[in-house]
Amino acid sequence: MDEKYDAALDLLRRLDPSNLNENLERIIGLEPELAEDLLSSIDVPLKVQQDKKQSGRAYLCCDYNRDVDSYRSPWSNEYFPELSAQDLEESPFPSKELRELEVLANDSFDVYRDLYYEGGISSVYLWDLDEEGEFAGVVLFKKEGANSEVWDSIHVIEATRSEGDMFTYRLTSTIILYLENNGRKTALSGNLTRQTEKDSKVDSQDAHQSHITNLGTLIEEVESQLRTQLEIVYFEKTRDIFHQTRTQNSATAELNKNNQEEIVKGLQNL
C-alpha cells in the first residue's frame, strides 16, 4: 500500500499540473483504495459553488469541507447539494463555540481578500481537535484574472496550546498558479508549498479575536514570501528558457520577449 501511495505521489509530481484533477481521478480509478489518502494530501485547484440559502453567495470547495459528494458552506453552515437525513447525522460540523470563531474568521478574511486581492473568493473552515480550545482548519483564497489567470491559495492550520496563554500555530501553505495566453499558445502552471510554525499569545478575555489576529498576521507574511518566491522561480526560469531558445531570427526573439511579458502581466493581474 505504501509503495503504491509513494508511486502515485511521484507520478503526480511529474505530470502536467494543469491536468491535476484528471490525473488524480485516473489514478484513483486504477487504485480506489488510495482515494482517501490522496485526496487528503494532494491540493487540487479550488472549485466554486453557490449557497442557495444565502442568495447564491459563492464559496470555495475542497476536501476539508466535503462529505460524500456535498460541500459545506461557511455562510449558512449547510451542505450543498443537500444530504440525506441519514448522511447528515454523521456529517462533520464544528462545535457551537468553534462555529462562532469560524463565522468571525470568514468575515475577517473576506475583508483581507478584498484588500489584498481586490476581488476573488475566500472561505474558512474549522474543525475541533481533541483538547479543549484547540482547533484545525483551512483558509482558502481564489482569484481569477481576465485572461485565464488563476491563483489558488490554500492554508491548512493547526492551533494547539503550548503553555498558559501561548498557542502554537502550524501552517502548511500551498499556492496553485495557472497562467495562459491562448493567442501565443503560452501556458505556465505549477504549485509551491511551504510549512511555517509560530508561537503567539492569546488573550483569554477575547480568544476569538486573538486567534484571528494571529492567523491573519501569519498568513499575510507567508503569502508575501510565497509570491516573491513564485516571481523568482517562474519568471527567472522562464526568462532562462526563452534565452536558450532564441535564434538569430529577430522575429522569434521578439516573440519570446512578448511571451515573457504576457506571463509577467498575468501574475500582476492576480
Least confident of 12-16, 46-50, 141-145, 258-262: 258-262
pLDDT at 260: 57
Mean pLDDT of 210-223: 95
d(CA 38, CA 23): 12
Least confident of 21-35, 57-71, 139-153, 179-193: 179-193
Tell me the three cell numbers of residue 106: 470568514
222 pLDDT band, cuts 50/70/90, is very high
Mean pLDDT of 209-224: 95
pLDDT at 55: 87
pLDDT at 259: 59
| pTM for the structure as a whole | 0.81
Mean pLDDT of 6-35: 81
pLDDT at 176 over 80: yes
For the chain, give the percent of residues with pLDDT over 90.
47
Least confident of 72-81, 204-213, 231-240: 231-240
- Classify strands 66-67 and 70-72 as parallel, antiparallel or unpaired: antiparallel
SS3 173: strand
Tell which phi-psi region holds residue 138, choosing left (phi > 0), alpha (psi between -120 and 50) or beta: beta
Residue-averaged pLDDT of the chain:
84
186 pLDDT band, cuts 50/70/90, is low
Contact predicate 179/267, CB 8 Å: yes
pLDDT at 191: 74
Higher pLDDT, 71 or 25: 71
Look up residue 2 and give its DSSP letter. H
Peptide bond into 94 cis (omega under 30): no
131 CB neighbour count, 10 Å cutoff: 9
Look up residue 235 and give its DSSP letter. I
pLDDT at 251 over 90: no
pLDDT at 270: 61
pLDDT at 257 over 70: no
